[in-house]
Amino acid sequence: MIRLENLTKCFKLKGEIRYIAKDVSFTVPRGDSIGLIGRNGAGKSTLLKLIAGTIKPTSGSIVRLANVSFPLGFQGSFNGSLTGEQNVRFVARIYGHDTDELVEYVKDFAELGNSFFMPVKSYSSGMKARLAFGVSMGIDFDYYLVDEITAVGDSNFQKKCKRVFEDKLQDSDIIMVSHSTGSLKEYCTTGIVLEDGALTYFPNIDDAIQRHSENMARR
């Protein structure tokens, strides 16, 4: 279970306070995969990072009684001066995972060849995405946080990613940010609409998509 308790996150932008979340209390249900929907700039990616714990709230708290992934597609946590292998070992220690086991899994999955042993700062964005996805799939999480995954590699690699990801979801839930209605309907059963710092939960993903469309039409 993940619980937001009086969560507020705000920034000052051009002299004005902008709220990503404003005094939000919400319990993320277990057993449902959730689509997180909102207009550009609403703060969807920021909310995912708050849930992951990679950034701190302005006030309030997030209680995580579950094993929560870092956002898939988020590569900012890698140290560019370390090799791919060293980064994987570091992540394994953070999550209490067997380091050698995770290294072998990611080395095989990411298909980076000798680049796996080179500094991440030498990687292309596609190589970083392969590394990030491999690390995420190599660890079992109760919740996978998905932030606009971009398909990388050839069609065979993309099919492998999809197959492994869908296998993980047999026992895990996801919170997914995507601008693709098709992806949201494929992977998510329920939805949360983020608008003006407020979260509105919908038990049916179609209703969440409809509300988002209405919000967009009003502006």
Inter-residue contact 33 to 187 (CB < 8 Å): yes
How many domains does the chain divide into? 2
Q: CATH code at 23?
A: 3.40.50.300
Antiparallel, parallel or unpaired: β 16-28 and 2-13: antiparallel
Asked whether residue 14 falls in the same domain as residue 40, the answer is yes
Find the domain containing 136 and state its range: 84-140
From CA 13, how far away is CA 93, in angstroms rounded? Answer: 37
Q: Which of 23, 41, 31, 22 is nearest to 2 (CA)?
A: 31
Per residue in 38-84, pLDDT (tens digit) is 999 899 999 999 999 989 999 999 999 999 988 876 566 789 999 99
Per residue in 180-206, pLDDT (tens digit) is 898 899 889 999 999 999 999 999 999
Is 44 a member of any domain?
yes
- What pLDDT, on a 0 to 100 scale, did the predictor assign at position 38? 94
Per residue in 14-46, pLDDT (tens digit) is 888 999 999 999 998 888 899 999 999 899 999
Is 51 a member of any domain?
yes
Is 187 a member of any domain?
yes
Question: Under 8 Å CB-to-CB from 166, ≥6 apart: which residues?
Answer: none
Per residue in 128-176, pLDDT (tens digit) is 888 988 898 899 999 999 887 656 667 787 788 888 888 888 899 999 9
Per residue in 94-113, pLDDT (tens digit) is 889 999 999 999 999 999 99
Is 150 a member of any domain?
no
Asked whether residue 62 falls in the same domain as residue 15, the answer is yes
